[in-house]
Structure 1
Amino acid sequence: MKAGYSIFVLFVSLALFGIVEVCNARGAHGFSNLSYNYYRRTCPRAEKIVRGIIRERARINPALGAKLIRMQFHDCFVRGCDASVLLDTVNGSFPSEKKAVPNLSLSGFDVIDDIKTALEKACPKVVSCADILALAARDAVSAPFGRRLWDVPLGRRDGRISLASEINGNIPGPSANFSSLLQTFNKKGLDVNDLVILSGAHTIGVSHCGAFSRRLYNFTGKGDADPSLDRTYAIFLRKQCPNPASQTITVEMDPGSSLKFDTHYYDVLLQNKGLFQSDAALLTDGHSRGLVTTLRRKRSFFPAFATSMMKMGAIEVLTGNAGEIRANCRVVNP
């Protein structure tokens, strides 16, 4: 993305949503410690290597963007964007984040491994796994567009701790209500604008039936469906997801448009066809609902999403002498 266009994107988003301090170096964000030219001297081909592998893998697997952006979200909301979600459990010690229930359905780790292997050959122990994940998520979502949808400042370092026990309270669940969602985002230095904007990532990807089956079969404990869910859509979902919930069947999060990164999610949300309770919750607050309506317009959504992804990607980053640069994204250095 050209510098001039990036600045334009940033200021359009600021004007639309009143995000006053997007690049705030204080609080949860570390923008001032990240740089767009971070690897210019130490690994000048880093971004090109990531982009090349992602383009090839995304061509084979069009769902890769949904997988990697979800992985980055789950990483950044626990201990910040430090690639802790990539660590395996070692020698029967405390289970890593991968073993937590919300992360059991994460996928795409093999792609990160391939990128790390290529970068270690080109520039040993230079490019962090946290930066790889941030670049890979951006490039996978951007691949169908032929251009970068948001900028990724670099310089993150990798954490050495990953605990499944830290997932609860940090990763918002599919049944979360609006106040719970907003509280979780606020703890990460994000606001209601970011909540609604980043929820737009649900325009791509699928979900297992178990994540929302309660909405269909036992919403109040009486064998009923969530009355806020469009009745026709609820009937369709029941046909797709027999009770009890299958652990293998998946459905589109954005019906009819799950492989296309667009604004369709907000259209179906306003039709009461949000798949999760956490989606429907965005309509229960006046300000949030207004944002949903505004974000139906592409000229509003795309620049806003770019801004919120930059904010999320800088949550509690490790820089300088903190953390390490892992040689293998799955294990800490000896």
Structure 2
Amino acid sequence: MDLTTTVLMVLLFVLGNVTEGEVLHYNFYDKSCPQLENIVRAGLVPLFVTDPTSPAALLRLMFHDCQVQGCDASILVDPTEGNVSSEMASVRNFGIRKRELISIVKSMVEAACPQKVSCADILILAAREAVAMSGGPHIEVPLGRKDSFTTPSYQQADAWVPPATTGVDDMLHIFTSKGMTIQESVALIGAHTLGVTHCASILNRLYKAEGDKAHQEMEPGFVLNDPTAFIFDNLYYKNAMGGRGVLRIDAEMVSDPRTAQIVKHFASDRDDFFRAFSSAFFKLSTSGSLNQGVIRKRCNVLD
């Protein structure tokens, strides 16, 4: 373990993200499933080649999962007749896609290591690979998470997943509560460098009082977050500085005195952005990890 990783683990204890008995390990599966990371990577490559929008979808999926009761794969549970409160019923999860990809990879892992690896860990690894395979940094993440075994709540998703209208104040409150610095918070928003934004998410910025007609006309479409929507780079920040930010947070970070200089720095220094993003990813992925959960055989079912 290098010095940076050691410092991050110490910070994790200090900030209270993981309590005693819940420590994750970088070598957690060395004996029980030593080929885990290779299996996940091999499973995702053809899926990413087939659909280049998948990396952005998986990164967003991880973020939305970790925001609600920690990174426990609760967002993967399908709604059923007896489970009408699935997180996917939340309006905040509008546009969430590619949950089935985690189930595909999970089946490959189960074939090699039955009932050893949690869906939560697979989701974190998939998001990590989504960043790396798109040209971003390779992020080392500790493993050992458990899956939730209680019924997920769309009310919790409504409460904890930030809406598309989130501004700098709310963004900083959400991320600093997870132990992130302002720089790391701005870096995590840089995940917008991947993918597109649904037009329905920015209607409030385009139309103030146009009524349902505008919504009906705009809803089917999408807007690129930046011109290199399939590449993890720092063009997002350059785009925002040029006044082309898509979401409210994209536009506000450029002018807010707490974040403006960080945006400017990341726009000119890709390596520093990658370093800060890696640190933020680490903190998000280890926030609220379960050690009293289960290892689901199927990611979309509480069994």
Q: What is the TM-score when the length of structure 1 is the normalising length?
A: 0.82
Relative to 1, partners in 2 of residues 1:157 and 1:272: Cα closer, same or farther, differing over 3 Å?
same
Q: Displacement of 1:287 after TM fit?
A: 2.4
Q: Is 1:274 aligned to residue 254 of structure 2?
A: no
1:74 aligns with 2:64: yes
Higher alpha-carbon deviation: 22-31 or 285-294? 22-31
2:43 aligned partner, one-letter code = I
Question: Taking every aligned residue pair, what percent have the same amino acid on both sides?
Answer: 33
User: Paired residue for 2:225, among 253, 260, 280?
Assistant: 253
Secondary structure in 2 matching 1:207 = strand
Partner Cα distance (2:217, 2:23) in 1: 45
Report the equivalent of 1:292.
263
Paired residue secondary structure (2:223): strand
Name the structure 2 match of 1:213: 203
Counterpart of 2:130 (choices 140, 154, 165) is: 140
Deviation at 1:203, TM superposition (A): 0.4
1:43 and 1:25 map into 2 onto residues whose CA distance is 30
* 1:236 aligned partner: none
Match among 151, 162, 165 for residue 140 of structure 2:
151
Matched with 1:227 is none
Cα deviation, 1:40-71, whole Å, max 9, x if unaligned, reads 10111111110101112111122211010100
Q: Which residue of 1 aligns with 2:117?
A: 127
Q: Is the 8 A contact 2:137 2:278 kept in 1?
A: no
- 1:252 maps to a residue whose letter is L
Q: Secondary structure at the match of 2:158?
A: coil
CA contact (8 A) 1:30 1:315 kept: no
In 1: Cα distance, 2:9 partner to 2:104 partner: 38
The alignment partner of 1:23 has SS state of: helix
Number of paired residues?
A: 298
Q: Which whole-Å deviations, capped at 9, do the CAs of 1:215-255 have from their partners, x for residues lacking one?
A: 1121xx5x6xxxxxxxxxxxxxxxxx96545332111111x
Query: Which residue of 324, 330, 333 maps to 2:294?
Result: 324
Matched, 1:114 2:81: no
Q: Where does structure 2 lack aligned partners over 5 or more consecutive residues?
A: none
Q: Give the unaligned 5+ runs of structure 1.
A: 224-240
CA contact (8 A) 1:176 1:277 kept: yes
Could you say which residue in structure 2 is the equivalent of 1:27? 16
1:49-88 matches, cutoff 5 A: 49-88=39-78
**One-letter identity of the residue aligned with 1:210:** A
Q: Give the partner amino acid of 1:143.
A: M
Query: Is the contact made by 1:174 and 1:277 (CA closer than 8 Å) also made in structure 2?
Result: yes
Q: Deviations over 1:267-286 (max 9, x none)?
A: 01111211011222213421
* Cα shift readout 1:7-66 (whole Å, capped 9, x = no counterpart): 56x69xx9xxxx996433652246971111100101111111101011121111222110
